[in-house]
Amino acid sequence: MSTRAQIAIEIGPWESAHVYVHYDGYPAHMLPALARWMPEDILAAREIRQVPKDEIDGFEPPRDPPVLPMPTRELCHLYVWLAGAWVEVNPGAE
């Protein structure tokens, strides 16, 4: 079973590209795995099968990520780059 996630990367004012991640999108895996990658690396992958700690496993050919006006969680988890680190964003959580 897959734990799907999105990585939202700001690409302009009121524009965030949402890179799809198919497997292992849960925070205990994704936050350590993302730690070595910069937003540009994730954006270059465009569509990701999985983010192991040593490489980005992308789809071939990848689809372009959807661009939305703000980071938007549509799948299980949403990650953004904030103050120099990746964080999970859980909109609506208290």
- Average pLDDT in the 12-39 region? 95
Q: Which residues lie closer than 8 Å to 7 by C-beta, 6 or more apart?
A: 18, 19, 21, 34, 42, 48, 78, 79, 80, 86
Is 50 exceeded by the pLDDT of residue 94?
no
> pLDDT tens, 34-88?
999 999 999 999 999 999 878 899 999 999 999 999 999 999 999 999 999 999 9
Determine the distance from the C-alpha atom of residue 40 to the mean position of all C-alpha atoms in its chain, rounded to a whole number. Answer: 11
Quote the domain boundaries for residue 21: 5-89
In a domain, 48, yes or no: yes
Give CA–CA dist 63/81, Å, rounded. 21
Is 90 exceeded by the pLDDT of residue 22?
yes
Task: Work out how many domains the chain is built from and give that number.
Answer: 1
In a domain, 94, yes or no: no
In a domain, 43, yes or no: yes
pLDDT of residue 92: 53
Q: What's the Cα-to-Cα distance from 91 to each of 59, 60, 71, rounded to whole Å?
A: 27, 31, 9
**Whose structure tokens read 């999108």?**
25
